[in-house]
Structure 1
């Protein structure tokens, strides 16, 4: 079966277990991240890969910057926590960053989140229906992770949790539970962002204590629209190297694209897995919308 380059990192919940990580994030980087000090006014955008991380980063950045995009590209304005070893001047530089308000994004499972629950930091977790997530992740693996296999091979790896950051079900479950027991964790669904972005922006602003005027709301919603972000050189991640001939980071941004990829057999198999893993959550996702924005 086709595979792609990866690293293995110790599972924070199970010392004997290992979680698949991107090849450049090794145990050394994760050990160094333990020295990162989380501040009371820090905000973290958290998501399993390809669940709407960049979209929420843009919202948080614009809210915190009075609606201005600014001079930095989005991945510098809202740095990738565990990916800092090869970015932003290195992990040591990121660890030493300070400021009244800091914004970061991460794909870390809850068990590996530094200092979680020890401060008043805020965590915005974005979750996406697993079928669309799998499709988006497949193209991401092709373009940026060196994956060279087929869709059918990838969906098998995905179902088994053998892709970077492990099983989407484990990832979502732990953060969902945290959101039910902590006022500092906000759980947002990608599909709700598609249906009513203005409401989500309003809720996020309230959650991170950003005063929201009607003008700021209008600005943030307009600049966070998928079509606007796709042509924004500060927000579309076109600066990240990727394989030629593969769709860009901001590919479609719709709900229901999974129907163009899943075979009937794959749908049945995935539905059974979804029901067995999600039944415990009390959490439901929408797998199709009659419109996109």
Structure 2
């Protein structure tokens, strides 16, 4: 018997997301929800969770089908539900909707991941450029200055604006301390992959022998994920990407440095200062380990 969730307190709308789908989800005790803004380390974290749940660094994660984006707007809910129901034991799903827009069950394990907002934007730009179809070109135009202006001024739509990232981050902070929510940062994960894998394993209740932990950590490195994109990329082997390996673009941070003029940087700085305290901003931009 699963305990009742804390219900959503806010409704989010977008072109891609459909948070009302959470009302159809039938959770199991221990299910894992990876909840993060887009391009912040969601798929990376899901890949780690898949390897830990399988106890196998060579698992074919099949992120799109076995660990689906639960509240993406698409017509195949019955198919998604059947695939989840057919899985034995603990499952995982993902969402980009902030915590105040989804139910939070005390019996589920939640993992949120954050990244420097400007890195998110530039990673999203690369992400869109690797697709075989033109989508989201209106909010990620080729002109960098216009793209960043939209990012800074845009409303909360599908996680693609600064406001959407900050909404998500603040929704996670509002839950703390919460025993069933683990907050990670992209920069910390890059600095210590093994430590991140160990924290995730402990959080989802998976016991891992040291040699398996080492193997999962090695398989979770960016170069390995990119090499094995067919197993780990979203929509892998479906022709959605020019090359599945391009889903994992570079894994680097600071791609925005030297790309933005002073007015854009000043506007970003002002928004961040207005909406976050200094400690909150530091953790969102640089992680718990600092800049």
TM category, shorter: 0.7 to 0.9
Task: State how far apart, in whole Å, the 1-side matches of 2:209 and 2:24 are.
Answer: 38
Mapped contact 1:255–1:287 kept (Cα < 8 A): no
Q: Would you tell me which structure has more strand in proportion to its own residues?
A: 1
Deviates more, 1:160-169 or 1:125-134: 160-169
Give TM-score, length-normalised by structure 2.
0.80
- Structure 1 residue runs of 5 or longer lacking an equivalent are 1-11
Task: State how far apart, in whole Å, the 2-side matches of 1:240 and 1:266 are.
Answer: 37
Residue 56 (str. 1) matches residue 56 (str. 2): no
How many pairs does the alignment contain? 268
RMSD of equivalent CA atoms = 2.9
Mapped contact 2:50–2:61 kept (Cα < 8 A): no
Residue 252 of structure 1: aligned partner = 250
Residue 153 of structure 2: aligned partner = 160
Q: What do residues 57-78 of structure 1 show as CA deviations (whole Å, max 9, x unaligned)?
A: 1111111111243345233232
Q: What secondary structure is seen at the aligned counterpart in 1 of 2:14?
A: strand
Task: State how far apart, in whole Å, the 2-side matches of 1:281 and 1:266 are.
Answer: 22
Task: State how far apart, in whole Å, the 2-side matches of 1:241 and 1:151 are.
Answer: 27
Mapped contact 1:35–1:95 kept (Cα < 8 A): no
Structural mapping, 1:110-129, within 5 Å: 110-114=99-103, 116-117=104-105, 119-129=106-116
Task: State how far apart, in whole Å, the 1-side matches of 2:84 and 2:227 are.
Answer: 32
* 1:55 to 1:225, Cα distance in 2 relative to 1, 3 A: same
Task: State how far apart, in whole Å, the 2-side matches of 1:65 and 1:84 are.
Answer: 28
* 1:45 Cα deviation after fit: 1.1
Residue 108 of structure 1: aligned partner = 97
Task: State how far apart, in whole Å, the 2-side matches of 1:288 and 1:264 are.
Answer: 21
Structural mapping, 1:120-269, within 5 Å: 120-144=107-131, 145-147=135-137, 149=141, 150-162=143-155, 163-165=157-159, 167-178=164-175, 180-232=176-228, 233-237=230-234, 238-239=236-237, 241-242=239-240, 248-269=246-267
Mapped contact 1:33–1:91 kept (Cα < 8 A): no
Give TM-score, length-normalised by structure 1.
0.80
- Structure 2 residue runs of 5 or longer lacking an equivalent are 1-7
Task: State how far apart, in whole Å, the 1-side matches of 2:192 and 2:198 are.
Answer: 10
Q: What secondary structure is seen at the aligned counterpart in 1 of 2:33?
A: strand
* 1:101 Cα deviation after fit: 0.7
Deviates more, 1:70-79 or 1:256-265: 70-79
